[in-house]
């Protein structure tokens, strides 16, 4: 049976936490309870700082529970590209930081006795077809140049035909939510204040403090705020430097399992595969089929394509779980971690691509070092205030032309002419009563209308058929069909419209 939820949420239970129930002050406030927020709170607490963390939903409810759980220092946009766009020294520092992040996860797991199945296993990057070989060779050379423990492989332990590959030693896998929940529990035991169901709706800097207004009417005041919300909340110049993409994952029983390892290929978008355990059985977690958020309505087709991929390579027996999540692709390949542009006491961390478990942990180190005034060699390299025109120009122009195109085109277009064109279970943008509206027709035939203008930067949201959500094609804001916020950056919900049905 397919359950449309992430594998990681099955058989795991978050620590019991309450919402904020009064206005309070703290030294450092972390907003967001994913891997970035919880790890940052942990490292700051270890450094002796007073930390409070708020999470809008439940811990790990964001992309951290949509992941596939690979821990790899292999760089998502490839090291050969990084060396070309920056230089070898930068690439080496990135590799070292990502390796150190995985070591941190291993160390915390051992130190805090976290039961999260952390295991060192090999990683494999492979070419499935001949015309991917040249890129594979370039990446092999670059991998050795940055210092990776890599080996050329003529054969791969996969149950289907491939060309060559690279074996990376000492990668790792773990159960991400068991790790996150265990770490949060330790934080609470050591005196940090953690709250859930507590959404920030405004973050404003004052003289020497930051004021955070909450949806429930209370206010939190901190000396420093870390926005660990995957994308910075509200309007932030960094949003023009990262582009939102959705990626699809399935956990499935298959006929032919590969050897234990992390696998990813060289297609664009690429597929990624690892093994996991479910009810005492070996299963496979496979992901891929990415597309830009809000720019594909028939997202059921993405699940179908992934299912077809799994069947053709591994022999599909049963899909146990299927889910999707968002990644933010930075225009120059590197994430943005550090002080938010034009702010004194607000920090951000975003643009991790598909390596956010490693980057989220590296970000926790960088932000802790920045806040506690310790040196960190990555501060300038990943600074949100950096300027690398050469590396970013092409993708910056491409992504922002795409945003401008949707800003204009989507205002002028509708998916249907009348309410009757919307089938039960479907959503469409229509023009009704002289207004453009986002209308969802529920299973009972009742219509639910929303103002389709995204509360972030006023683009028009688009229907996502598989998730039954309204997704913004510009900066990745997402909303439920009732209009509630799902993914940052928007701070506010979509406004309901009182629909008159003739
Ligand atoms: C399909 C998929 C597969 C992936 N696979 C891998 C992988 O194998 N390896 C890897 O390293 N990375 C992978 N990634 C990337 C990685 O999972 C993410 O980059 C990482 O989990 C991001 O963590 P985060 O803590 O920054 O964000 P999140 O986990 O999204 O946490 C942000 C939190 O902030 C909360 N929040 C948002 N707005 C507010 C608000 N206004 N007030 C309060 N709280 C708020 C959200 O509810 C959320 O819980 C994958 C991503 C996807 C989508």
CATH code of 470's domain: 2.102.10.10
| Residue at a domain's end among 368, 398, 428 | 398
| CB of 70 shorter than 6 A to ligand 1 | yes
| CB of 299 shorter than 6 A to ligand 1 | no
| CB of 287 shorter than 6 A to ligand 1 | yes
476 lies in some domain: yes
Ligand 1: which of 61, 63, 456 to mutate, judged by most atoms within 8 Å of the beta carbon?
Answer: 63
234 lies in some domain: yes
Ligand 1: which of 8, 64, 238 to mutate, judged by most atoms within 8 Å of the beta carbon?
Answer: 64
Query: Are residue 62 and residue 185 in the same domain, yes or no?
Result: yes
With bands split at pLDDT 50, 70 and 90, how would you rate the model's confidence at 488? Answer: confident
Query: Are residue 183 and residue 319 in the same domain, yes or no?
Result: no
Atom of ligand 1 nearest to the CA of 199: 42
Query: Are residue 228 and residue 340 in the same domain, yes or no?
Result: yes
Count Cα neighbours of 251 within 13 Å in the Cβ-side half-sphere. 24
76 lies in some domain: no
Q: What angle do CA 438, 483, 6 make, to 5 degrees?
A: 110
Over residues 281-309, the pLDDT tens digits come to 999 999 999 999 988 878 899 999 999 99
The least confident of 250-259, 350-359, 459-468 is 459-468
| CB of 67 shorter than 6 A to ligand 1 | yes
Q: Which two tokens stand for residue 265?
A: 């290929």
With 50 as the cut, is the pLDDT of residue 175 above it? yes
The confidence score (pLDDT) of residue 163 equals: 97
27 lies in some domain: yes
Query: Are residue 294 and residue 433 in the same domain, yes or no?
Result: no
Q: Is-contact 288 272, C-beta < 8 A?
A: yes
CATH number of the structural domain spanning residue 344: 3.50.50.60
| CB of 40 shorter than 6 A to ligand 1 | no
| CB of 37 shorter than 6 A to ligand 1 | yes
**Cα 350 to averaged position of ligand 1 atoms, centre (Å):** 9
| CB of 288 shorter than 6 A to ligand 1 | no
Query: Are residue 337 and residue 234 in the same domain, yes or no?
Result: yes
| CB of 489 shorter than 6 A to ligand 1 | no
| Residue at a domain's end among 330, 356, 380 | 330
The confidence score (pLDDT) of residue 2 equals: 43
Over residues 203-243, the pLDDT tens digits come to 999 989 999 999 999 999 999 999 999 999 998 989 888 99
With 90 as the cut, is the pLDDT of residue 444 above it? yes
With 80 as the cut, is the pLDDT of residue 409 above it? no
Over residues 463-482, the pLDDT tens digits come to 999 999 999 999 899 999 99
CATH number of the structural domain spanning residue 305: 3.30.9.10
**Cα 62 to averaged position of ligand 1 atoms, centre (Å):** 5
Query: Are residue 46 and residue 181 in the same domain, yes or no?
Result: yes
Query: Are residue 299 and residue 337 in the same domain, yes or no?
Result: no
> Which residues make beta-bridge pairs with 369?
none
Which DSSP helix (H) or strand (E) runs through 378?
none
Q: What is the pLDDT averaged over residues 159-165?
A: 97
Domains contained in the chain, number? 3
Over residues 23-55, the pLDDT tens digits come to 999 999 999 999 999 999 999 999 999 999 999
Q: Is-contact 201 214, C-beta < 8 A?
A: yes
Q: What is the pLDDT averaged over residues 155-161?
A: 96
Q: What is the pLDDT averaged over residues 346-351?
A: 98
Query: Are residue 223 and residue 370 in the same domain, yes or no?
Result: yes
Beta strands 435-441 and 262-265 are: unpaired
Which DSSP helix (H) or strand (E) runs through 363?
helix 356-371
Query: Are residue 224 and residue 255 in the same domain, yes or no?
Result: no
Ligand 1: which of 62, 173, 355 to mutate, judged by most atoms within 8 Å of the beta carbon?
Answer: 62
| CB of 229 shorter than 6 A to ligand 1 | yes
What's the CA dihedral at 115, 116, 117, 118 to 10 degrees? -110
> Which residues make beta-bridge pairs with 281?
278
The confidence score (pLDDT) of residue 1 equals: 41
115 lies in some domain: no
Atom of ligand 1 nearest to the CA of 287: 1
With 80 as the cut, is the pLDDT of residue 382 above it? yes
With bands split at pLDDT 50, 70 and 90, how would you rate the model's confidence at 412? Answer: low
Query: Are residue 346 and residue 225 in the same domain, yes or no?
Result: yes
Query: Are residue 183 and residue 51 in the same domain, yes or no?
Result: yes
Query: Are residue 249 and residue 326 in the same domain, yes or no?
Result: yes
Compare 152 and 433 and report the one with higher pLDDT. Answer: 152
| CB of 358 shorter than 6 A to ligand 1 | yes
**Cα 427 to averaged position of ligand 1 atoms, centre (Å):** 26
278 lies in some domain: yes
- Segments forming the whole domain that contains residue 487: 419-497
474 lies in some domain: yes
With bands split at pLDDT 50, 70 and 90, how would you rate the model's confidence at 413? Answer: confident
Q: What is the pLDDT averaged over residues 166-176?
A: 97
151 lies in some domain: no
Work out the mean pLDDT of the chain and round it to a whole number.
93
| CB of 245 shorter than 6 A to ligand 1 | no
| pLDDT > 70 fraction of the chain, expressed in percent and rounded | 96
The pTM (predicted TM-score) of the whole model is 0.94
Over residues 85-141, the pLDDT tens digits come to 999 999 999 999 999 999 999 999 999 999 999 999 999 999 999 999 999 999 999
| Residue at a domain's end among 330, 353, 383 | 330
Atom of ligand 1 nearest to the CA of 64: 21
């Amino acid at each position: 049976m397919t359950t449309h939820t992430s594998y990681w949420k099955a058989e795991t239970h978050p620590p019991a936490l309450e919402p904020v129930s009064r206005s309070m002050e703290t030294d450092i406030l972390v907003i967001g309870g994913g891997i970035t927020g919880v790890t940052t709170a942990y490292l700051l607490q270890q450094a002796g700082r007073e930390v409070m963390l708020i999470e809008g939903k439940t811990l790990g409810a964001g992309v951290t529970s949509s992941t596939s759980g690979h821990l790899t220092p292999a760089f998502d946009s490839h090291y050969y590209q990084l060396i070309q766009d920056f230089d070898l020294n930068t690439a080496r520092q990135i590799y070292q930081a990502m390796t150190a992040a995985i070591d941190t996860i291993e160390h915390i797991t051992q130190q805090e006795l976290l039961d999260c199945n952390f295991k060192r296993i090999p990683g494999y990057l492979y070419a499935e077809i001949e015309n991917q070989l040249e890129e594979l060779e370039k990446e092999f050379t670059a991998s050795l140049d940055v210092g990776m423990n890599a080996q050329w492989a003529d054969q791969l332990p996969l149950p289907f035909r491939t060309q060559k590959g690279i074996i990376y030693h000492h990668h790792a896998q773990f159960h991400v939510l068991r790790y996150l929940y265990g770490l949060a529990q330790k934080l609470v035991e050591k005196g940090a204040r953690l709250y859930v169901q507590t959404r920030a709706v405004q973050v404003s800097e004052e003289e020497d403090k930051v004021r955070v207004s909450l949806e429930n009417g209370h206010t939190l005041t901190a000396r420093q705020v870390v926005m660990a919300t995957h994308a910075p909340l509200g309007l932030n110049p960094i949003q023009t430097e990262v582009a939102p993409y959705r990626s699809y994952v399935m956990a499935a029983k298959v006929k032919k399992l590969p050897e234990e390892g992390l696998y990813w290929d060289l297609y664009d978008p690429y597929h990624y595969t690892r093994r996991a355990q479910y009810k005492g059985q070996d299963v496979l977690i496979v992901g891929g089929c990415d597309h830009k958020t809000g720019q594909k309505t028939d997202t059921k087709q993405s699940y179908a394509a992934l299912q077809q991929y799994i069947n053709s390579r591994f022999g599909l027996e049963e899909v146990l779980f299927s889910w999707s999540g968002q990644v933010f692709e930075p225009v120059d390949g590197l994430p943005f971690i550090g002080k938010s542009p034009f702010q004194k006491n607000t920090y951000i961390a975003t643009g991790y691509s598909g390596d956010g478990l490693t980057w989220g942990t590296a970000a926790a180190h960088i932000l802790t070092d920045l806040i506690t005034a310790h040196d960190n060699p990555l501060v300038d390299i990943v600074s949100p205030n950096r300027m690398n025109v050469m590396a970013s120009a092409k993708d910056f122009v491409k992504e922002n032309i795409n945003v401008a195109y949707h800003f204009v085109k989507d205002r002028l277009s509708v998916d249907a002419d009348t309410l009757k064109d919307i089938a039960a279970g479907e959503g469409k943008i229509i023009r009704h009563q002289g207004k453009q509206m986002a209308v969802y027709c529920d299973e009972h035939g009742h219509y639910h209308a929303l103002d389709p203008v995204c509360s972030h930067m006023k683009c028009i949201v688009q229907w996502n058929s598989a998730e039954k959500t309204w997704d913004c094609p510009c900066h990745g804001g997402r909303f439920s069909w009732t209009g509630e916020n799902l993914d940052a950056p928007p701070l506010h919900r979509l406004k309901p419209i009182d629909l008159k049905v003739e």
